[in-house]
Amino acid sequence: MYFKRAILLLIVLVLAALPFSGCGGAGGNSTNQDKAVVRLGALKGPSSLGLLQILNKNDRNESLNIYEVTVEGAPSDIQARLLNGELDIAALPSNLASVLYNRTEKNIRVIAVSTLGVLYLLSTDDTVTSFEDIEGRTVYATGQGSTPEYVLDYLLRQNGLEDKVDVQYKGEHAELAALMASGGADTAMLPQPFVTTVMLRDDSIRIVADLNDEWREAAGAELAMTCIVVRNRFLEENRDDVHKFLREYEESASFVNTNVEKAAVFSEKYDIIPEAVARTAIPKCAIVFIDGGDMRPAIEPLLQVLYDANPGSMGGALPDDTFYYKK
């Protein structure tokens, strides 16, 4: 009897020492009970490409947080969900982040810059080989009354071309892309992924200028067009979980930039950009991770240009330093 009890005790001790997967195994994975739920908003298009590895890890239960993901087609939809408290963290255009900050008593803060400029000057005319070559020409564009218009106007002024280029605006990116593909426009400013779309349709369409480069030369700063924001209350109550997200986003942005083929597959899977387009567009989407004290020098030059052109386009005032979250 004593021998049997000793054997049973030994078995219990051995079983107790085993690293059951539900309680954290040798790989250090934690259970869902140990993870925070983060409601994450993503936009269809370049601003969310940096999130792709996070979305894939989340599906595989390998992410540091549990992400409940909402993908929307328009920034206004993300804005509404943030204002209603339905999202905690989201990708947004930088000027919209400023608008929300100013209109919500600083309840929205930027935690990372996610992409730089995605605007390109395209042409089918062989005589147009640089930004300066658009002098005396008609350039078709989209984004009137928003960031693309103000960026283009600024670059025209800085290059002495403000009265020497006829800019004609179209209502939708897809409309202009179709016009260019049909030969109805020979020179245009378009964002990614529409740049890639028209170039795949017609190999006579060339990139004349990356407006990131033009902006950098004119403004002496990066063209930080999109960012990641967080609701301030969520940040205050879940600071460690926000830091986990930032760690994952930095890794995800690096993954997307260095694993384009896999990232393109994820892009279609999560309804961001179709795979065939994403494969070519990703390297041209300037996906970055900029946080902490480096955010303000990246974002503020653009916000200053927008403020000078139309204060309402970024909420009526330049955000103060509180807008930029530093760990």
| Average pLDDT of the residues in 154-172 | 95
- Taking residues 182-197, report their average pLDDT: 94
Number of domain units in the chain: 2
Q: Identify whether residues 214 and 147 lie together within a single domain.
A: yes
Q: Which of 183, 201, 219 is the last residue of a domain?
A: 219
Per-residue model confidence (pLDDT) at position 144: 92
Q: Are residues 270 and 291 in the same domain?
A: yes
Question: Domain of 255: which CATH number?
Answer: 3.40.190.10
**Domain carrying residue 100:** 34-116+223-323
What is the reported pTM? 0.87
233 and 192 in a common domain: no
Convert 129-154 to b/e letters by CB count within 10 Å (16 or more is b). eebebbeebebbbbbeebbbbbbbeb
Together in a domain, 152 and 177: yes
22 in a structural domain: no
Residue 125 lies in a domain: no
What confidence score (pLDDT) does residue 31 get? 58
Residues 227 and 319 in one domain: yes
Alpha carbon of residue 154 to chain centroid: 23
Of the candidates 288, 280, 283, the one whose C-alpha atom is nearest the C-alpha of residue 112 is 288
Of 197, 219, 241, the residue that ends a domain is: 219
Structural domain contains residue 302: yes
Give me 107's structure tokens.
Answer: 């309840």
Q: Is 201 found in the same domain as 250?
A: no
Q: Are residues 88 and 228 in the same domain?
A: yes
Do both 200 and 65 map to the same domain?
no
* Listed residue (295, 247, 270) closest to 43, CA to CA: 270
Structure tokens, 125: 């005319």
Whether 135 has a pLDDT exceeding 50, the answer reads yes
| Residue where one domain finishes, among candidates 157, 188, 219 | 219
* pLDDT mean over 282-286: 96
The reply to whether 102 and 230 lie within a common domain is: yes
Are 238 and 316 within one domain? yes
Which pLDDT tens digit goes with each residue over 16-68? Answer: 343 333 333 333 344 577 899 999 999 999 999 999 999 999 999 999 999 99
Angle between helices 173-181 and 194-201 (to 10 degrees): 20
Task: Calculate ∠ Cα 192-87-291, nearest 5°.
Answer: 60
Mean pLDDT of 260-288: 96
147 and 99 in a single domain? The answer is no
Distance CA 156, CA 153 (A): 5
